[in-house]
Structure 1
Amino acid sequence: MYAAGDVARWPHPQFGFLVRFEHGTNAADQARCAVARLDTCVPYRPSDYVWPGCDWRLQIVGRLQADGTEALFGNLELERPRAALPHADAAGRLCAAVVLNWPESFLQCRRMIAAGAEIVEARNLLNAAGQA
């Protein structure tokens, strides 16, 4: 038996506790995984990614940690502001990011989270991108 979407909770391979993500991207990812697992036993590895459909592009990846840290990058003074808020876990790894109207930086954050990058690397990259 498989479940997908808002009703599904599973042990997250990176965070080590049960999670539930209530958004369409996750439901589609889970459905693809369920189909692929019909004759195999491959663990579900979520993309932990969501973006709402609105005028501004707000993209979220990962999972905030209660004992983590964050810093704001970007330019909020633009006509169409852009910003990134990378979030580190207690070990100093990038574990989540909230990004507004800055798709290039969002993709970089998403890749760094998947690679287990240090928050210092993310901050350096975002700082350099914000200067451009």
Structure 2
Amino acid sequence: MEKENVYYATGKRKTAIARTWLTPGKGEIIINNRPMEKYFSLESAKLILTQPLVLTNNLESYDIKVKVIGGGTSGQVGAIRHGITKALIQIDPDLRQSLKRAGFVKRDPRVKERKKYGQKGARARFQFSKR
């Protein structure tokens, strides 16, 4: 691979981190050395993952290689989508406006709230007993 034709970006969502590499190709998506269809069984996950490519008409223009760690399915899909979006902006800065309007550029800051001491969970309390 030539360095000038490889675009790298890191995407994050919840506790998942996705390192994405885009190279000119025919639209192959490899996640953790497995095809996308084998890695994500949910059809909705595949749709979310390809949203930035469909929006910019680049679905069959680039081969995508992803290394993703942490989180669950939802977090990993969001992290990969974020990484693909950032890499597409590196390739063509003019795409930023349409990707930003769709809400793909900004990292989703929502994470699980921590459990507090003296409580059952983040917000849940132990049941109060009068006697």
Give the structure with higher Rg (CA).
Answer: 2
TM-score range, shorter chain: under 0.3
TM-score in terms of structure 2 length: 0.25
TM-score in terms of structure 1 length: 0.25
Q: Which has the higher contact order (CA 8 A, sep 6+)?
A: 2
